[in-house]
Amino acid sequence: MTQQNTTTSSAKLARDGFTSSFGVLAATLGSAVGLGNIWKFPYLTGANGGASFLLVYLLATLLVGLPVMISEIMLGRAAKRDAVSSLKILAPAGQPWWLIGAFGVLAAFLIMSFYSEVAAWVFAYVFKAMGGSILSSDPAVTSAAFAALVADPVQSLLWQWGVLLFIGGILLLGVSKGIEAVTKKLMPVLFLLLIVLGVRSLMLPGAAQGLSFLFTPDFSKITAGVVLTAMGLAFFKLSIGMGTMITYGSYFKDDQNIPLTTLRVMGADLFVSMLAGIAIFPAVFSFGFEPAAGPSLVFITIPAVFASMPFGHVFMVLFFVLTAIAATGAMLSILEVPVSVMVGRFGVSRPRAVLFTLLLLAAIGSTCALSGSLLADFKLFGLNMFDLFDEVSSKLIMPAGGIALCLFVGWVWGFDRMRDALSNHGQLQNEGLLRALFFVIRYVTPLLVLLVMLSGLGVF
């Protein structure tokens, strides 16, 4: 018994994790905030009706995002293991809940495949912005510049591999010295840059129209498909339903207040999305762009916006640097899922796990990098690989993972264990709140996600 206790506690001591409260917050927020806020949120909001979409997204964040995120972090911290092992040891023997973690690993590869390509465009744009080659107030010029990048297979691949090497390098340094140290430095810079840009955009002539697009709802735009898109965005944004938050939860400190940290992360994440919307939509209207332009929105509007303002060159470099920063924190957390599983379950050394993940990703990811060029006509279910991986992860794997997690916590793990875990073994007085949360996790969230998935996918 004593022998076993000593082994367990020294194994826990040896495991790398986040070292300070601010570090926990920076890394978790670093995972949530990313291209989802600056690239996906604006273009999806633009394409799906503006404010009404925003409203559905907010509801999804509260009713689905919050309970799932708290559950994941809680399970990770309770088990202190990777996403697969955590569910293996928390679940009764023989029950296959660990599949949530396994599908999480799959989702990590799918997401990272297209995510690293968007990040590749962002990193490329940092350098192009510095050189001034993409700066033009003529939308035709900025669209052509973006189209040229996407259609160039060599550039697309090389930038993607460059991004992968960069992220791999940080991951090699470990959890506290890599992920935590880097996000702690970068997140404050990100907030500062975004505020500067938001203020600048609000001073543009067309600002009012952009704001009213973002804040006046048009309920006729809400369809079952739009609701699923909004919910998928909530999963994607909060990095939930695929094991990232289980993994990060396992690095949380024991005295960290999980519900409060989750609320803070959600609030800050929303704030960043709103700031990104405020920086982009006024500009879109001011320059007569189409708000429903799709994934290329950020890459063609932003350069045009900056081209026509004083010190635009500097602002544009700042914008893409900040987007690169946001993407970095998120990519670290996506890759940490497979890396930690390889280390935790298969006993592979961290450097080998990182290397193996990168190689596999370079292979799978290249199908997304080439989706705009050599593989443009290669389609499954009518979608190229880039769009397919995006849809499958946000609309299938993550919501299904969310349902499974809620069912596990609500029906298998149970209230007593949840209360113990979320009150830090009785140190926090939050019983009333936890009872309400448990009810939502047990009934509301899983049912809601199921309904949205089935209707959004056209089952009824």
Could you tell me which residues come within 8 angstroms of residue 20 by beta carbon, excluding any fewer than 6 positions away?
Answer: 180, 253
CB of 44 or CB of 214, closer to ligand PHE: 44
CB burial readout 84-98, b (16+ within 10 A) else e: bbbbbebbeeeeebb
Scanning 47-55, 72-80, 178-186, 232-240 for contacts with ligand PHE by CB under 6 A, the matching segment is 232-240
- Which tokens hold the place of 170? 């940080």
State the sign of the Cα–Cα–Cα–Cα dihedral 350, 352, 357, 362.
positive
How many whole angstroms separate alpha carbon 125 and alpha carbon 127? 5
68 sits near ligand PHE (criterion: CB under 6 A): no
The number of angstroms, rounded, from the C-alpha of 51 to the middle of its chain's C-alpha atoms is 21
233 touches 44 (CB < 8 A): yes
How many whole angstroms separate alpha carbon 168 and alpha carbon 160? 12
How many whole angstroms separate alpha carbon 385 and alpha carbon 377? 10
CB of 11 or CB of 62, closer to ligand PHE: 62
How many whole angstroms separate alpha carbon 368 and alpha carbon 160? 10
Taking the complex as a whole, the smallest distance from the CB of residue 384 to ligand PHE amounts, in Å, to: 20
Taking the complex as a whole, the smallest distance from the CB of residue 36 to ligand PHE amounts, in Å, to: 2
Q: Restricting to residues 242-261, which ones interact with ligand PHE according to CB under 6 A?
A: 242, 244
How many whole angstroms separate alpha carbon 308 and alpha carbon 318? 16
Residue with nearest beta carbon to ligand PHE: 36
Q: Restricting to residues 404-433, which ones interact with ligand PHE according to CB under 6 A?
A: none
Count Cα neighbours of 90 within 13 Å in the Cβ-side half-sphere: 33
CB of 125 or CB of 438, closer to ligand PHE: 125
Taking the complex as a whole, the smallest distance from the CB of residue 64 to ligand PHE amounts, in Å, to: 14
Scanning 45-53, 57-65, 235-243, 403-411 for contacts with ligand PHE by CB under 6 A, the matching segment is 235-243
Residues 105-144, mask of contacts with ligand PHE (x by CB under 6 A) = ------x---------------------------------
Residues 82-111, mask of contacts with ligand PHE (x by CB under 6 A) = -----------------------------x
Scanning 16-24, 35-43, 56-64, 378-386 for contacts with ligand PHE by CB under 6 A, the matching segment is 35-43
CB of 90 or CB of 330, closer to ligand PHE: 330
Q: Restricting to residues 327-356, which ones interact with ligand PHE according to CB under 6 A?
A: 330, 333-334
Helices 415-422 and 66-79 meet at what angle, rounded to 10? Answer: 80
CA separation (Å) from 214 to 48, 76, 223, 267, 292?
11, 36, 18, 18, 12
Taking the complex as a whole, the smallest distance from the CB of residue 337 to ligand PHE amounts, in Å, to: 8
Residues 170-209, mask of contacts with ligand PHE (x by CB under 6 A) = ----------------------------------------
Residue from 24, 26, 29, 35 that binds ligand PHE (CB under 6 A)? Answer: 35
Q: Restricting to residues 272-331, which ones interact with ligand PHE according to CB under 6 A?
A: 330
Taking the complex as a whole, the smallest distance from the CB of residue 75 to ligand PHE amounts, in Å, to: 16
34 sits near ligand PHE (criterion: CB under 6 A): yes
- CB count within 10 Å of CB 61 equals 23
CB of 71 or CB of 333, closer to ligand PHE: 333
How many whole angstroms separate alpha carbon 108 and alpha carbon 115? 10
Scanning 29-37, 212-220, 291-299, 411-419 for contacts with ligand PHE by CB under 6 A, the matching segment is 29-37
Residue from 103, 109, 146, 236 that binds ligand PHE (CB under 6 A)? Answer: 236
355 touches 337 (CB < 8 A): no
Element (H, E) at 413: none
239 sits near ligand PHE (criterion: CB under 6 A): yes
Taking the complex as a whole, the smallest distance from the CB of residue 298 to ligand PHE amounts, in Å, to: 13
Could you tell me which residues come within 8 angstroms of residue 114 by beta carbon, excluding any fewer than 6 positions away?
Answer: 365, 368, 385, 386, 389, 390
Q: Which residues bind ligand PHE (CB under 6 A)?
A: 31-32, 34-37, 111, 236-237, 239, 242, 244, 330, 333-334
